[in-house]
Amino acid sequence: MGALIDIRRASKRFVKGRETITIFDKLDLVINEGDFVAIMGPSGSGKTTLLNLLGGIDRATEGEISFGGVRLDQLTEGKLSGWRAANVGFIFQFYNLMPMLNAARNVELPLLLTRLGKGDRARRVQAALEIVGLGDRAKHFPREMSGGQQQRVAIARAIVADPKMLLCDEPTGDLDRKTADEILSMLQLLNREMGKTIIMVTHDPEAARYASRVLHLDKGRFIEQGAMA
Amino acid sequence: MRILNQIIAVCTINLKSLPQRFWLSLSTVMAVALVVGVLLAFLAMAAGFQQTLNGTGSANVALLLRDGSQQEVNSTITLEQTRLIAEAPGLVRKPDGSALMSAELYVIVDAVKRASGMKSNIPLRGVGQDAPALRDGFTLVAGRMLQPGSNEIIVGQALTKEFAGFDLGQEPRIGGVTWKVVGVFAMQGSVFESELWADLPVVQGLFRRGSITQTVRLRLTGADALAGLQRYSDDEPRLKLKAFSEKEYFAGQSSGTVKLIQYAGWPLSIAMAVGALAGALNTMYSSVASRSREIATLRCLGFGGFPAFVGTLVESLALSLIGGLLGTLVVWLLFDGFTTSTLGQGFTQIVFSLSLTPALMVQGVVLALAVGLIGGFFPALRAARLPIVAAYAQG
């Protein structure tokens, strides 16, 4: 498959007081459509910052970031919001569900940005919950669910609008091993069966084994290791 | 449609998460309720006072004062003038041909307030026998009319509720003389209900006024007869009198006191509203801070900044609206219809009931929403402009 993401000479720097902190400098990376990429590296290496740039919620100080030929670094904030809604599903370490909404309403949120009517939205929400094995928990609130179940709801929310890419920030960081393996298997399934391009930041080498490609980010440079499994 | 969906979703999330910020939200609600409550209490007082005076008097009754006098207390009318004016055109006449009229004397006497035990001034009106016929809506609700030439008084219904010693059958001492209350009258809550009525010659004798009166009331054949009456007075050198319609006279009497109450009420309420505004700002900034992770998550999903702005504003308006309605409800329960008295322009107490009208309720709610709008605007702006990455760092 062709390149979905193309990062060219991207740099990210922060100014803190009088000091300029460089997170990475002139980074190049190509991720193909259908890849399952794990990004590893020590704390502070810039993994999450890179994920934020790929998701269009942060901007590079310089360089180019393209997604399917669209230059993200040239989009306005409003257009970036629209691009995210159409192309990106986010999965967070702490699930980031809305505690006051039930599972179905949480999953429905990305669909509120589409032109789908209420009936179509309900059907797609139910289908997404069925995919993650929670078809019977639609009316349950996050507080009534285990951590693993909440993360499944978050995955359902990430895929319900059928985005091309899933960005996962330590998706198993808050889960026990068994539950983490279930979640990772599910991500693998979404990658293999549904063709989702997945980019996952993780500290966990066990989690990285589920990826088809592992990148180590250290001191602003990538070291490619290939698949660990 | 999509933006509307986003706004509804954000508003739902914000409003459903209010219990998580219960105490802070409650403090804003209470502050706004207090501001609205104080304002409405003042305005209900002004409205009740105005209604009492505006409900007094008829357009078909002429009130004559000495030219130059604006109030009954500083007017004097001689017996000769009274006889002359009775010959004027445009007056309703009785079967015997005499004018339907009442020359009246208005003197100030002491009375004790039931609630406070404090002495206050109330009016004792010396009236002629036609006085009830010159008041629309006059009804005796207890007892009987006074007998001419006797020390009998009839008492306004509002006055008996507010002042002690004037219940039916009681014998109050006024001007060193013992009187007997023989009747209680009602007059649709008008200012006359704050008065004592006695026979004119008895009052003139007791207070050494000779044959002098202060006002003359006449029933006109129509409201347009007032101008003719004034012309008649102007053309007769012995009559230097000013003719008012009774309705116009009492409306003029209310304006000064009403303005005073309103001018005290609004600045006090606005000063308090500034304090409530600080509370609302604090609450809403805290709300935005505590929801920063939720806001950031929604922004990640593709929600725009505008729904975050509207959602925060709606939360602020909702809290203020609840506060405004609560303040209105409390004032309505505690004060609507509550009877009190204040000093009128005749230096006597006028008994009136506080009146919380729908228009006043709207003013209270508008003030509450203004507090909510201003208190929510800047926090809403912060919510809309929150950088997503920074929001995660805060959350």
> Which has more pLDDT, B353 or B263?
B263
Q: Give the helix ranges, DSSP H, for B191-291.
A: 200-206, 225-235, 246-290
Q: Which of B9, B16, B17 sits opposite A109 (nearest CB)?
A: B9
Q: At residue A142, does pLDDT exceed 60?
A: yes
Can you tell me the mean pLDDT for B345-374?
80
Burial (CB count within 10 angstroms: exposed 0-12, middle 13-18, buried 19+), residue B9: buried
pLDDT at res. A161: 93
pLDDT category at B395 given cuts 50, 70, 90 is: very low
- Chain A CA closest to residue B7: A112
Can you tell me the mean pLDDT for A104-118?
91
- Mean pLDDT lowest among A33-37, A176-180, B271-275: B271-275
Q: At residue B136, does pLDDT exceed 60?
A: yes
In B114-162, the DSSP E strands lie at 119-127, 139-143, 152-156
Distance from CA of A79 to the nearest CA of B (A): 9
Residue with tokens 């209350």: B181
Can you tell me the mean pLDDT for B138-142?
92
Give the closest residue to B375 by CA, choosing from B314, B325, B328, B324: B314
Give the closest residue to A165 by CA, choosing from A97, A65, A98: A65
Q: At residue B339, does pLDDT exceed 70?
A: no
Distance from CA of A187 to the nearest CA of B (A): 19
Q: Which of A78, A90, A112 sits opposite B2 (nearest CB)?
A: A112
- Chain A CA closest to residue B299: A81
Can you tell me the mean pLDDT for A171-180?
90
Q: At residue B158, does pLDDT exceed 60?
A: yes
pLDDT at res. B349: 62
Which pair of tokens denotes residue B256? Answer: 């000064």
- Report chain B residues whose CB lies below 8 A from the CB of A52: 388-389
Can you tell me the mean pLDDT for B174-203?
90
Can you tell me the mean pLDDT for B34-60?
79
pLDDT category at B348 given cuts 50, 70, 90 is: low
HSE (CB half, 13 Å, CA atoms) of A158?
Answer: 29
Query: Are the Cβ atoms of B17 and A92 closer than 8 angstroms?
Result: no
Distance from CA of A9 to the nearest CA of B (A): 22
- Mean pLDDT lowest among A143-147, B288-292, B367-371: B288-292
**Mutation test of the interface with chain B: which of A84, A106, A113, choosing the one with the most B Cβ atoms within 10 A?**
A113
Task: Count interface pairs A-B at CB distance under 8 A.
Answer: 60
Q: At residue B327, does pLDDT exceed 80?
A: yes
Burial (CB count within 10 angstroms: exposed 0-12, middle 13-18, buried 19+), residue B321: middle
Measure the CA angle with vertex A49, ends A48 and A51; round to 5°: 60
Q: What percent of chain A has pLDDT over 70?
A: 97
Can you tell me the mean pLDDT for B28-53?
82
Q: At residue B73, does pLDDT exceed 90?
A: no
pLDDT category at B51 given cuts 50, 70, 90 is: confident
Return all residues near B379 (Cβ < 8 A) that are at least 6 apart.
Answer: B281, B284, B285, B287, B288, B312, B316
Domain boundaries, chain B: 2-54+253-394, 68-239
Cβ distance A27 to A21 under 8 Å?
no
Measure the CA angle with vertex B269, ends B263 and B272; round to 5°: 140
Whether the model clears a pTM of 0.90, i.e. scores above it, the answer is no
Can you tell me the mean pLDDT for A213-227?
80
Mean pLDDT, chain A, rounded, equals: 91
Per residue, what are the HEC states of A26-59? EEEEEEECCCEEEEECCCCCCHHHHHHHHCCCCC
Cβ distance A208 to A228 under 8 Å?
yes
pLDDT at res. B120: 84
Return all residues near A101 (Cβ < 8 A) that are at least 6 apart.
Answer: A109, A141, B12, B13, B16
pLDDT at res. B22: 85
Q: What is the ipTM of this complex?
A: 0.89
Q: A132-146, B288-302, B303-317: which has the highest mean pLDDT?
A: A132-146
- Mean pLDDT lowest among A54-58, A221-225, B11-15, B292-296: A221-225
Distance from CA of B259 to the nearest CA of A (A): 50
User: What DSSP element (H or E) covers B302?
Assistant: none
Q: Which of B6, B304, B389 sits opposite A57 (nearest CB)?
A: B389
Calpha distance B238→A180 (Å, rounded): 110
pLDDT at res. B342: 64
Q: At residue B178, does pLDDT exceed 90?
A: yes
Can you tell me the mean pLDDT for B204-225?
90
SS3 B126: strand
Give the closest residue to A177 by CA, choosing from A206, A149, A145, A201: A206
pLDDT at res. A218: 83
Q: Is the CA virtual torsion B127, B128, B134, B137 positive or negative? A: positive
Calpha distance A27→A8 (Å, rounded): 6
Give the closest residue to A167 by CA, choosing from A157, A179, A180, A177: A157
Report how far apart, in Å, the C-alpha atoms of A189 and of each of A126, A207, A211, B168, B325 are: 18, 14, 11, 94, 55
Domains of chain A: 3-226 (3.40.50.300)
Can you tell me the mean pLDDT for B51-76?
81
SS3 B371: helix
- Mean pLDDT lowest among A209-213, B77-81, B115-119: B115-119
- The answer, for B304 touching chain A at a CB cutoff of 8 Å, is yes
Mean pLDDT, chain B, rounded, equals: 85
Q: What are phi and psi of A61, to 5 degrees?
A: -65, -40
pLDDT at res. A208: 93
Calpha distance B302→A79 (Å, rounded): 9
Give buried/exposed letters for A73-111 (b at 16+ CB in 10 A, else e): bebeeeebbbbbbebbbbbbbebbbbebbbbbbbbbbbb
- Chain B CA closest to residue A77: B304
Residues in chain B, overall count:
395
Return all residues near B387 (Cβ < 8 A) that are at least 6 apart.
Answer: none
pLDDT at res. A225: 64
Calpha distance B168→B99 (Å, rounded): 32
- The answer, for B118 touching chain A at a CB cutoff of 8 Å, is no
pLDDT category at A228 given cuts 50, 70, 90 is: low
